[in-house]
Copies of this chain bind each other. A is one copy, B any other.
């Protein structure tokens, strides 16, 4: 911190923050990455932790280990409480404020319950490792309690799983829960038949995977139905508690409810006093800086950015990574007295896995379904895991589970949640 080199502070070590730090590897700067947790989470596979296929440590790696070889990078595990843009300082809960010359905000999103924050306890979403282990505990506990109860209605309720939101996360969760019930647990109980479970996927719009062409939505719906998922489209949730979900048309009693619907940006907009869109994302300039604050950048899910047609960029890992890389390079260029053209997003494709042998994919003009799409999905995800070790462990685990229909991480480890 005593260095004379410009200090780049990156808040958030998700896909955007890590890429920005790496892009500054050879720049004449000091980089400090701040995150409130010690690990970078590979969110695209978080649903596999929530459904007991992978362990938390398979998809989460220590931030400081990722950056250990980068001598100009320091990692601080601390919670940011605000930004003093006048004094160019980031305020921390655990320590003294950190001053910056350049600031990159990459703090992501959290769940939005559309003004019903009281639904959060009943219907957890899936963004962090803790969310995943909590959902895993709830799913597995539901079966355990169903085995114990002597009341038929309560048993039916416990064996009902409702997933709210028919995007990629909802589709992947629904498929995985269906497989747990129909295959993994099929022979493990004596008093209940897990195969009789009801798995309901609720979507407010007219079709699942609304961001993709109708052909892929249709395929996803058919594949889910074959796995035993009940898809209810054009249904709006009007209430939610620990015992079920209220729709306009009536109530579904359920033991486990998972939120895969709305998201809202982290409070970075407030910290910066910057203009935000409806979801709380900061509206950024073409170079991803905050208008009027050329040394402050917002990237990833926290930024409201648009493509050439004016459509918002998708809130996925690649968007964040491209933005991180761009801002890292831009700062390097500025320090060298150069400039860069505005940020341009390239969309590599869309994926969603449906159980253990189906997927849908769109790569440019090409759409794919079925086992081929699943194979492409698997290879792509393993490729993007950090480090050979994790690639190997995850590949082995998937192969093993594929052959045995098992899941290796069926742990209930959240005693506090045993309500």
Interface residues of A (CB under 8 A from B): 37-39, 55-58, 60-62, 64-65, 68-69, 74-78, 94-96, 129-130, 133, 140-141, 144-145, 147-150, 187-191, 389-390, 392-393, 396-397, 400, 404, 406, 408-413, 415-416
Asked if A62 and B188 sit within 8 Å, CB to CB, the answer is: yes
Known: A77-B144, A94-B148. A64 touches B189 (CB 8 A): yes
Residue of B whose beta carbon sits closest to that of A66: B188
- A307 CA to B74 CA in the complex, in Å? 57
Asked if A65 and B188 sit within 8 Å, CB to CB, the answer is: yes
Closest beta carbon of chain B to A48's beta carbon, Å = 12
Asked if A145 and B94 sit within 8 Å, CB to CB, the answer is: yes
| Residues from chain B with Cβ under 8 Å of A77 in the complex | 141, 144-145, 147-148, 412
- A56 CA to B61 CA in the complex, in Å? 15
Asked if B189 and A140 sit within 8 Å, CB to CB, the answer is: no
Closest beta carbon of chain B to A287's beta carbon, Å = 29
Asked if A410 and B55 sit within 8 Å, CB to CB, the answer is: no
Residue of B whose beta carbon sits closest to that of A148: B95
Residue of B whose beta carbon sits closest to that of A389: B400
How many monomers of this chain does the complex have? Answer: 2
- What are 7 contact pairs spanning A and B, CB under 8 A? A38-B410, A39-B410, A57-B408, A95-B148, A95-B150, A96-B150, A389-B404
- A144 CA to B77 CA in the complex, in Å? 6
| Residues from chain B with Cβ under 8 Å of A129 in the complex | 411, 413
Asked if A57 and B148 sit within 8 Å, CB to CB, the answer is: no
- A398 CA to B392 CA in the complex, in Å? 14
Known: A411-B129, A413-B133. A147 touches B76 (CB 8 A): yes
Closest beta carbon of chain B to A398's beta carbon, Å = 12
Closest beta carbon of chain B to A371's beta carbon, Å = 23
